[in-house]
Amino acid sequence: MGWTLWDWPFLDETHHSKAREVAGFAAGIAPHGAGPLADEARGHVRALGEAGLLDIAVPEPGAGGYAFDVRALCAAREGLAYASVLADTMFAMQGLGTGPIALFGSDALRDRYLGPARRGEKVAGLAISEPEAGSDVAAMATEARDDGDAYVLTGEKTWISNAGIADHYVVLARTGEAPGARGLTAMVVDADTPGLKAEPFDLIVPHPIGRLIFDGARVPKTSVIGRPGEGFKLAMATFDHFRPTVGAAAIGVARRAMDETLARVASRRMFGRTMAESESVQTKLADCQVDIETSALAVYRAAWTKDVKGGRATREASIAKLVATEAAQRVVDAAVQLHGGMGVIEGGIIGQLYREVRPMRIYEGASEVQKLVIARDVLAEAAATAQTDGKAGGSAA
Ligand SMILES: Cc1cc2nc3c(=O)[nH]c(=O)nc-3n(C[C@H](O)[C@H](O)[C@H](O)COP(=O)(O)OP(=O)(O)OC[C@H]3O[C@@H](n4cnc5c(N)ncnc54)[C@H](O)[C@@H]3O)c2cc1C
């Protein structure tokens, strides 16, 4: 299927050429399952680094300091996820597991961690979620006790992508400057730190993930990112860059499902004609295409807003993630239905996409959380407008 995105005003030639580069790389990705998942995952990171593509996820500093090109991130994730959700996950995690360091870390931390991650030599992780603190991040209990020149970490993280294969994790822990979200601090913890143990577990998709157990892990204060107590703010600022990119990955998955489906309905015959000739099939295809193109509008609008207008662009990012992941789920579900039994056969691409699209509506803020973010932003805007109008009305009277 042709993809008209490149004619859109959100993107310029640098994004087109990055997308072409990624598409060339993605076409050479070997199918999943050749060896152990950890090896395959590390292999993706190495290959992405060697191809220079991790420069997008772990950017070199520019004249104005560290800045992500969110449109390039989205184009890369869309292209990678089209070919391999695992490769896309590894690409994204290199960015998420270094983003706080790039945006807020000291020069010493940047020097130590960013280069190896950019070159694909080291694997990065981001550890926020806990058994009792998923959507409710502020309920986090992992404690970082102040002990002179170090913090001593005790607690458990779970659902941590790359647990067991990462070389370092950016960890949020409670340092207690204030209650709730204002008492958290971000720090880099090397995977081989004594007192830190990783316990990988399996998902329904190929995705390295697991628990991290901290049992008196000593982390030097020089590994703190930003200021103590500002960990939550810093993590949310990182998500503002990466949330639209989850939507982009979802578009990649949806487009792959659509392309597979278009090929299937063109060749599959039933009741004396191809499926593509059936009008009820055509309306399903139309729904899918509308979902894909409206998702792309939301995602690249959010990326453009962040890149060009600046600021946090939180609402746009949440809308992008919500719209695109929910839409991709519908597209993939329609693809399964249109493939019939072939949609659920073990080892088939459509069944694989069906599993892979599902976690996207949960991680980096479940759909319900995105709705809360959007609603709060709209309410705050309405309150601010009412206040301004009230003042204006008052002065006119
Ligand atoms: C594949 C995958 C990779 C992940 N990688 C990482 C990682 O690298 N690092 C990391 O720190 N975490 C990671 N996570 C964790 C992820 O961010 C959490 O799963 C997510 O925040 C939801 O938390 P939870 O699973 O505890 O679900 P819960 O918080 O228990 O939420 C369960 C459900 O409740 C609903 N819900 C939540 N809030 C509301 C609300 N306010 N109103 C109504 N309904 C609501 C949602 O449908 C949600 O799915 C990953 C998760 C997955 C699945």
- How confident is the model over 80-107, as pLDDT tens digits? 999 999 999 999 999 999 999 999 999 9
Question: pLDDT band at 9, cuts 50/70/90?
Answer: confident
Q: Assess contact for 66 and 186: CB atoms under 8 A.
A: no
pLDDT in tens, 51-69: 999 999 999 988 888 899 9
Q: In this structure, which CATH number among 1.10.260.40, 1.10.540.10, 1.10.1200.10, 3.40.50.720 belongs to the domain 9-122?
A: 1.10.540.10
The active-site residue, picked from 78, 130, 230, 364, is: 364
Atom of ligand 1 nearest to the CA of 203: 1
User: What's the average model confidence in pLDDT over 191-202?
Assistant: 98
Q: In this structure, which CATH number among 3.40.50.2300, 3.30.70.20, 3.40.50.720, 2.40.110.10 belongs to the domain 125-229?
A: 2.40.110.10
Nearest to 187 by CA among 100, 115, 67, 103: 100
Distance 157 CA to ligand 1 centre (A): 13
Distance 274 CA to ligand 1 centre (A): 42
What's the chain's average pLDDT?
A: 95
Atom of ligand 1 nearest to the CA of 135: 29
CA 52/CA 42 separation, integer angstroms? 15
Q: Assess contact for 145 and 154: CB atoms under 8 A.
A: yes
pLDDT in tens, 248-257: 999 999 999 9
- pLDDT surpassing 70 at residue 144: yes
- pLDDT surpassing 60 at residue 395: no
Residue carrying the six token digits 């509308």: 290
User: What's the average model confidence in pLDDT over 345-374?
Assistant: 97
Q: Identify the pLDDT of residue 64.
A: 81
Q: Identify the pLDDT of residue 32.
A: 84
Question: pLDDT band at 397, cuts 50/70/90?
Answer: very low
Q: Identify the pLDDT of residue 5.
A: 66
Backbone angles phi and psi of 3, in degrees to 5: -125, 115
Q: Identify the pLDDT of residue 3.
A: 57
Q: Assess contact for 265 and 285: CB atoms under 8 A.
A: yes
CA 263/CA 289 separation, integer angstroms? 14
Atom of ligand 1 nearest to the CA of 97: 8
Q: Could you give the percent of the chain with pLDDT greater than 70? A: 97
pLDDT in tens, 304-346: 999 999 999 999 999 999 999 999 999 999 999 999 999 999 9
Kindly list the protein residues whose Cβ atom lies closer than 6 A to any atom of ligand 1.
Answer: 126-129, 134-135, 159-161, 203, 207, 209, 359, 362-364, 366, 368-369, 372
The secondary structure of 191-246 as a DSSP string is TT-TTEEEEEE--SSS--EEEEEEEEEEEEGGGEESSTTBHHHHHHHHHHHHHHHH
pLDDT in tens, 165-177: 999 999 999 999 9
What SS3 string covers 343-362?
HCCCCCHHHHHHHHHHHHHC
Nearest to 49 by CA among 105, 17, 95: 95
Measured torsion, CA atoms of residues 42, 87, 101, 232, in degrees rounded to the nearest 10: -120
CA 10/CA 187 separation, integer angstroms? 35
Q: Could you give the percent of the chain with pLDDT greater than 90? A: 89
| Alpha carbon nearest to ligand 1 atom 25, residue | 134
Distance 107 CA to ligand 1 centre (A): 32
CA 23/CA 257 separation, integer angstroms? 17
Distance 391 CA to ligand 1 centre (A): 41
Residue 60 bears catalytic tag = no
Domain 233-387 is found in CATH 3.90.45.10: no
- pLDDT surpassing 70 at residue 33: yes
CA 145/CA 187 separation, integer angstroms? 13
Nearest to 8 by CA among 303, 222, 333, 318: 303
- pLDDT surpassing 70 at residue 396: no
Q: Identify the pLDDT of residue 55.
A: 97
Instruction: Give the single-character DSSP code of 371.
Output: H
Q: Which residues pair with 209 in a beta bridge?
A: 161, 201
Q: Could you state, in order of their start, the residue ranges of all structural domains in the chain?
A: 9-122, 125-229, 233-387
- Residue 55 CA, distance from chain mean position: 16
Tokens of 86: 């695992």
- pLDDT surpassing 60 at residue 31: yes
SS3 label, residue 248: helix
